[in-house]
Chain A
């Protein structure tokens, strides 16, 4: 019982931290995507401004 108790405690902590880590990783991935999206939109605006002038 004690060993099983300890094992499930470890599962609990691993699960909790796994959710935090997965969420932080999605934040990092989103950051990367936003940067490239921002670059692309800036390029689009520059191209549009050049075309109109």
Chain B
């Protein structure tokens, strides 16, 4: 069943991504002020939104683990946070490349960029913590606490462009009362959010299966070494 879902979401993501890439590069005109570099937004935004979703999924699963102590919740949290971190890196790198053209600099220590960097560092710390502890219960408990703590920072990242006057552009999506995009441009961004999300569902399920096999191996190893 899981194999079928991985295959179906992978194929759907590939079809949707092909359609979107065609539209982004060949149909969509250059943005009036920014020119071609504007197109980076179509990967920057979906990567950011999907990373936020995965970090919250990780936090939710961590709460589930602390309440139930079931290892399956810990695995979901670890996988969600790991993939979320990869997407957060994409967001950061694409944002920096866009900034080099739009602002003339790679980086600015403004609220949005700094809070997002802190967010990334927290999830790097999360993965380091997990790899440093061998005992599964202690690893699960400590990493769950860190995952919940790290997810609190996402609110700051999300709201920073409304709360503070930052170098980063303010909200542009109409759902955030931004209204800075033409309707055709905005809908394509949502289509790419869907495509990236589908791709990440497939990756998530593959990685989750690996985490389950890893747990199985650890159990078998304990059995093999038991007297």
Contacts and interface: CB of A to CB of B under 8 A. Distances in A.
A4 to B, nearest CB: 7
21 contacts: A1-B35, A5-B35, A8-B97, A8-B98, A9-B39, A11-B97, A12-B37, A12-B44, A12-B94, A13-B43, A15-B97, A16-B90, A19-B86, A23-B83, A27-B203, A27-B206, A27-B210, A30-B210, A34-B213, A38-B220, A45-B224
Interface residues of B, number: 32
Interface of B: 34-37, 39-40, 43-44, 47, 83, 86, 89-90, 93-94, 97-98, 100-101, 199, 203, 206-207, 210, 213-214, 216-217, 220-221, 223-224
B37 A5 contact: yes
The SS class assigned to the B binding surface is helix
Secondary structure class of chain A's binding surface, majority of residues:
helix
Closest 4 CB pairs of A and B: A12-B40, A12-B97, A44-B224, A5-B35
A24 B90 CA distance: 14
A29 B29 CA distance: 40
Tier of interface size on chain A: 20 to 34
Contacts of B43: 12-13, 16
A31 to B, nearest CB: 6
Nearest to A49: B224
